[in-house]
Structure 1
Amino acid sequence: MRILVADDHKLVRDGLRPFLRELDAQAEIVDASSLDEAIAAIEGAAPCPDLVLLDLMMPGMDGLEGLSRIKSLLPDRPVVIVSGYSSRDHVQAAVQAGAAGFIPKTVGGSAMVNALRLVLSGETYLPSSSFFEPSDSAGAGSHPVGAPPPFDRLSRREGEILAQLIEGRTNKEIAQILSLQEITIKVHLRNVYRKIGAANRAQAVRIALQSGWDIPPVAPVVRSVG
């Protein structure tokens, strides 16, 4: 797999590398810090990138014009916007312009990997409402109250566990974070799968990412030393 990461911040590009290796340990990751560099990387190399991660604010982008230029070169390859700003209008406009997904830079690493896997499977990834900026033109108070079906059937604890699952955490890690027994996590997950119509962990993550469900805040993993 060949992945092009186009972002003008080297810290961001370097920070994405370990997570992209989870998609393919042998992936060739190509950097670009401007639109011109991204285009040169596409035109001057073979094979073409299998996946492009694109920052809308880097030099030369001129908003969605840059995305359109990239898509004209790679009409059949997924281009995913990775941005520090994610108003609902920006997300919708990017998808309408051909983006296969829109990932806020505030998303966790494991959740980003799950989102990219969804994109590589041929789906479109949109962030949940929890990642939209309050400057959203619809107004911060216009978000619907309550979770969308079937997530409105989840208990608070089930929602917390599903959020941890999306972050890629194991049952043991989730149990440690929530101060529960591992068997309790398994029971809750069975209920989650039944309520949202998932057959397994991967399908539960896929359904949650596609739904626009407002993912609850995820606590960090606390690991003991020694």
Structure 2
Amino acid sequence: MQILVADDHKLVRDGLRPFLQELDPGAEILDAATLGEAIKVIEEKPGIGLVLLDLMMPGMDGLSGLEQIKTRIPETPVVIVSGYSTRDHVVSAVQAGAAGFIPKTVSGTAMVNALRLVLSGEKYLPSSTFFEDPNNQTINPAAAKPTGAPPPFDRLSRREGEILAQLVEGRTNKEIAIALSLQEITIKVHLRNVYRKIGAANRAQAVRIALQSGWVMPEVIN
């Protein structure tokens, strides 16, 4: 698979490479530092399977750059990777054709999980992004595509929610134990309860369910 990373910061482009190779070890990673370069790569390299796009790089005039790219490769998922992830930014990007919106503040593992979701045909957006649907119901766009019964996150205890949030960020049991000042065996017990309550068979499935639902750790979990 060919993946185009369009960002004017070389440090960002280089930093994404190992995570994209984790996504697909055989992936060819293509670079672009401006919208013009991105369009040139797209025209010269037919068959690009995924585009990661920075909205603030040179040549981008708002969302017109995204629209220009989508016009050329309408079937290819374009994911915005940006340091700016306000509700308006996210919703506008989705309306313009973005398949996902990933803040640059997420961990590399969380980004890989989000991109896997996008490549499976889902949308991935920050879980704090909500908007009104035609029936005036507030929905999370990350869960816009049906994924079965809604995960019952309201059944999680406060501690279980904290542990699931750490899990989504890609942390190991040992790292979670250190972060929450708990024993590693305690983390394992809590994770078994999390899996049972949200209907996950294992760690990877728990992360997928959380990402698909757009779940975010609330301030209070009953």
Q: Normalized against structure 1, the TM-score is what?
A: 0.82
The letter for the 1-side match of 2:85 is: S
Task: Note if contact 2:101-2:125 (Cα within 8 Å) is conserved in structure 1.
Answer: yes
Q: How does 1:1-226 map to 2 (within 5 A)?
A: 1-46=1-46, 48-129=47-128, 150-215=152-217
How many residues are paired up? Answer: 204
The ranges of structure 1 where at least 4 consecutive aligned residues each deviate by more than 4 angstroms after the TM superposition are none
Task: Note if contact 1:3-1:30 (Cα within 8 Å) is conserved in structure 2.
Answer: yes
- Partner of 1:50, secondary structure, is strand
Aligned-residue offset at 1:175: 2.8
Aligned-residue offset at 1:149: 6.9
**Identity over aligned residues, as a percent?**
80
The letter for the 1-side match of 2:12 is: V
Aligned-residue offset at 1:168: 1.9
Q: What is the aligned-residue RMSD (CA, Å)?
A: 2.5
Aligned-residue offset at 1:215: 3.7
Aligned-residue offset at 1:81: 0.3
Structure-2 separation of matches of 1:104 and 1:86: 6
CA offsets per residue over residues 178-225 of structure 1, 9 Å max, x none? 3433332222112112222222222211121122322479xxxxxxxx
Structure-1 separation of matches of 2:205 and 2:76: 24
Structure-1 separation of matches of 2:29 and 2:71: 21
Deviates most, 199-208 or 169-178: 169-178
Unaligned 5+ runs, structure 1: 138-142, 218-226
Seen in structure 2, the aligned counterparts of structure 1 residues 17 and 216 have a Cα distance that, compared at 3 Å, is farther
Unaligned 5+ runs, structure 2: 132-137, 139-149
Task: Note if contact 1:53-1:79 (Cα within 8 Å) is conserved in structure 2.
Answer: yes
Task: Note if contact 2:151-2:199 (Cα within 8 Å) is conserved in structure 1.
Answer: no
Match of 1:222 in 2: none
CA offsets per residue over residues 108-132 of structure 1, 9 Å max, x none? 1111111111111111001122xx7
CA offsets per residue over residues 6-45 of structure 1, 9 Å max, x none? 0111111111111111101221111101111001001012
Structure-1 separation of matches of 2:94 and 2:200: 26
The letter for the 2-side match of 1:110 is: T
Task: Note if contact 1:163-1:216 (Cα within 8 Å) is conserved in structure 2.
Answer: no
Structure-1 separation of matches of 2:151 and 2:72: 39
The letter for the 1-side match of 2:16 is: L
Task: Note if contact 2:165-2:216 (Cα within 8 Å) is conserved in structure 1.
Answer: no
Task: Note if contact 2:151-2:209 (Cα within 8 Å) is conserved in structure 1.
Answer: no
Structure-1 separation of matches of 2:217 and 2:118: 19
Q: Normalized against structure 2, the TM-score is what?
A: 0.83
- Partner of 2:48, secondary structure, is coil
Structure-1 separation of matches of 2:111 and 2:79: 11
Match of 2:141 in 1: none
